Chain A
Amino acid sequence: MVKADPKGVMTGSWFLDGDYALAEGALAAGCRFFAGYPITPSTETAERFAARIPKVGGCFIQMEDEIASIAALIGGVWGGQKAMTVTSGPGFSLMMENIGLACMMETPMVIANVQRAGPSTGLPTLVAQQDMMQVRWGSHGDYRIIALAPDSPQECFDMTIEAFNLSETYRVPVFIMTDEIVGHMHEKLVVPPAEEIDLVERKWYTGPKDKYLPYKNDKDGIPFMVRSGDGYRFHTTGLTHDERGYPLLNAEQQKITVGHLIDKIDGNADKIISLEEKEIKGAEVVVLSYGITSRVAVKAVQDAKKAGIKVGTLRLRTVWPFPEKRVAELSRKVKAIVVPEINAGQMVREVERSVAGRCRVTSVPHFGGWVHDPKDILKAIKEAAK
């Protein structure tokens, strides 16, 4: 761990929206390269970064589209930078192929998706949480990513720093799955002094130049990285590759390469996953939610308690990897798990898979455009408690 560079840290108390907080989090985390394309409701992050970067030192570029943005981001990271981009549904769809490239090249980076309602152009630009499965499965092939879901501007800031730290630790793209309401919501944001912000440094290789193997795993299962231009004259590719980074196109190498991309996340899931649990002990019903929906659920949970129902809450700060072990544990103790989310029922599928029939699972879908009416969640809690 190293301390943050004070140049990027806007220490103090501020009244800012979630999109701005993403940019401030990135600058505090040492991100000095941003390539993006405008799309509402995420543009404020790019605007903030563009305005701040000349004074902090670094580079902002508005690319020609989202495909270019993510490709430039991967290039910027191999050029030695910490890098971030931000987008929303349609742009997120365009990024998918190169998200696979980032995973394959094991490139650390942070991508925020300020979600809006789809499909297609959908509801520009009203809230949704409809890209929760796309973030996990959207690029072709098998791979793993990490995704976080903030519920406030403060958490947009905090989670961006966490996201950079996780991406450097596991050399994987990390996603911040926020939404239009958190993105545009103004709240108090406290930015700590730089010396209170701990950052994970890139896993730089320091051995002899001619011995460097770009994809040889270290003891912790993660390979070392170098910067382009530092004399290693290395190769990396989107093809299935061996430890040298050279293409090796057969089933044996595929098993090693894809196995590694999966294991480095699944094998560290316990270390990665962060949950917020309240009043779980003795609860009959647990409301499992994430992002803005967890704040809406607070009202429903209060009302349920008034009605005499023992209800607890589980908020997913980490959405992917999914906390299947914890949800399985809960399924042995509670009557039901209620899952409100602003989509037709996405993460609830993971809940059902983890619960495996041991308790009831109630989906409370909302197709987007606005948050749930807490009464709908309350109704589901009451039904579940019966």
Chain B
Amino acid sequence: MTAKKAPAPVNPMEEFLRMDRIPHIWCPGCGIGTVVTSFVEGVRKEKINLDDIAIVSGIGCTGRVAGYVKFDSFHTTHGRAMAFATGLKLGNPRQKVVVFSGDGDLTGIGGNHFIHAARRNMDMTVICINNFNYAMTGGQVAPTSPPDSKMSTAPTGNFEPAFSLPYLAEASGATYIARWTALHIRRVTKSIQEALNHKGFSFVEVITPCPTLYARRNRLGDGLDLMKYYYDSSEIRHGHDTRDTEIDFQGKIICGKFVDKKKPTFLDAMNTHFTKTFGDKYQPYGVDND
């Protein structure tokens, strides 16, 4: 008799990934994968029903997240993930809608949709992977590129000012805002857990290395070097004024949970308003429409 073979070990991630699409396209040393791992870990820890989560992505390296995670997942057009997600949430308010977006997708081409979704306090979670450049297209300068960083369309250095995303999010009306670097694995996970439980517009920015383009062009070593550098350059200051969260080239990165407040969501405000206006004749939308 031969001993019974032990079942092949299963990676705990497999339940959450479309394994038939792995390997993924991301470069070795890229931070997107670690953020996806943190996200999955956050969902697992919160014991959220996997059927209740919808992932929306736009275009770019981060845009590919929607293709690898095993949830209802939508890979949409460049910059429009926020607007698509707004419609998806209103179409079926029971779902937890999560947008995975890169910095260029979210705040360059998609900037208008980002600020308006925040303004409305749309009940959704936005995870922004900020690698300071348009990586999918070859490392072009982005609205987040630190001043003086060298990019393929700023070969002698970037002379434009950069967005500070926590400040932009807060000014626009976001009600949960946190920032970490890709190596703050446990803290990213915890913030994603909080964001998923937050009622309203929650925003988690993760500073990640782009080894192939940003790091190479600026001679910053490989992905791990830069991941470690970002981690070492971070300063955790919870509740810090978002006006002071700018990131200089290879400068200090202020991290932490900056904003966590309550405000009516778009649907709450709509239902409250119409109930006040029409009384019992109004059937609140998205509350029991299942």
In contact, B86 and A75 (Cβ under 8 angstroms): yes
Q: Shortest beta-carbon distance, B60 to chain A, in Å?
A: 13
Query: Which of A65-73, A130-138, A278-286, A326-334 makes up part of the contact surface?
Result: A65-73
**Interface assignment of B285: CB less than 8 Å from any CB of chain A:** yes
Among residues of A, the one whose C-beta sits closest to the C-beta of B71 is A233
Query: Which residues of the partner chain B approach A71 to less than 8 Å between Cβ atoms?
Result: 76-77, 80, 83-84, 87, 113
Among residues of A, the one whose C-beta sits closest to the C-beta of B271 is A54
Name the contact of A237 in the complex, choosing from B72, B75, B270, B281 (C-beta under 8 A).
Answer: B75
In contact, A63 and B80 (Cβ under 8 angstroms): no
Residue-wise interface mask of B (254-290) relative to A, using a CB-CB cutoff of 8 A (1 in contact, 0 not): 0000000000001000100010011001110110010
In the assembly, what is the distance between CA of A217 and CA of B114, in Å? 36
In contact, A33 and B90 (Cβ under 8 angstroms): yes
Name the contact of A101 in the complex, choosing from B52, B76, B270 (C-beta under 8 A).
Answer: B76
Interface size on B, residues (CB 8 A): 46
**Interface assignment of B209: CB less than 8 Å from any CB of chain A:** no
Query: Which residues of the partner chain B approach A236 to less than 8 Å between Cβ atoms?
Result: 73-75
- Provided the pairs A59-B286, A72-B84, A75-B85 are in contact, do residues A98 and B77 lie with their beta carbons within 8 angstroms? yes
In contact, B67 and A246 (Cβ under 8 angstroms): yes
In contact, B87 and A74 (Cβ under 8 angstroms): yes
Query: Which residues of the partner chain B approach A123 to less than 8 Å between Cβ atoms?
Result: none
Name the contact of B21 in the complex, choosing from A79, A234, A246 (C-beta under 8 A).
Answer: A246
- Provided the pairs A68-B83, A68-B113, A71-B84 are in contact, do residues A233 and B74 lie with their beta carbons within 8 angstroms? no
- Provided the pairs A78-B91, A80-B92 are in contact, do residues A55 and B67 lie with their beta carbons within 8 angstroms? no
- Provided the pairs A57-B283, A228-B88 are in contact, do residues A233 and B72 lie with their beta carbons within 8 angstroms? yes
In the assembly, what is the distance between CA of A52 and CA of B66, in Å? 36
Query: Which residues of the partner chain B approach A65 to less than 8 Å between Cβ atoms?
Result: 112
Residue-wise interface mask of A (74-111) relative to B, using a CB-CB cutoff of 8 A (1 in contact, 0 not): 11111111010000000000000110010000000000
Interface size on A, residues (CB 8 A): 45
Query: Which residues of the partner chain B approach A229 to less than 8 Å between Cβ atoms?
Result: 51-52, 54, 72, 92, 94-95
**Interface assignment of A238: CB less than 8 Å from any CB of chain B:** yes
In the assembly, what is the distance between CA of A76 and CA of B283, in Å? 19
Name the contact of B277 in the complex, choosing from A54, A78, A227 (C-beta under 8 A).
Answer: A54
Query: Which residues of the partner chain A approach B94 to less than 8 Å between Cβ atoms?
Result: 229
In contact, B83 and A63 (Cβ under 8 angstroms): yes
In contact, B91 and A76 (Cβ under 8 angstroms): yes
Name the contact of B66 in the complex, choosing from A63, A72, A237 (C-beta under 8 A).
Answer: A237
**Interface assignment of A375: CB less than 8 Å from any CB of chain B:** no
In contact, A234 and B87 (Cβ under 8 angstroms): no
In contact, B86 and A63 (Cβ under 8 angstroms): yes
**Interface assignment of B89: CB less than 8 Å from any CB of chain A:** yes
Taking A101-B77, A229-B92, A238-B76 as known contacts, 11 extra A-B pairs with beta carbons closer than 8 A to each other, sorted by chain A number, are A54-B278, A63-B83, A71-B76, A75-B87, A75-B90, A79-B87, A98-B77, A228-B88, A228-B91, A236-B73, A237-B66
Contacts from B to A (Cβ < 8 Å): 18, 20-21, 50-52, 54, 56, 66-67, 70-77, 80, 82-92, 94-95, 112-113, 116, 266, 270, 274, 277-278, 281-283, 285-286, 289
In the complex, 13 of the A-B residue pairs with CB atoms within 8 angstroms, ordered by the A residue number, are A35-B86, A57-B285, A67-B113, A72-B90, A74-B84, A75-B83, A75-B91, A76-B88, A229-B92, A233-B50, A235-B67, A246-B18, A247-B67
In the A-B complex, the 4 residue pairs with the smallest Cβ-Cβ separation, listed nearest first, are: A79-B91, A75-B87, A72-B87, A75-B88
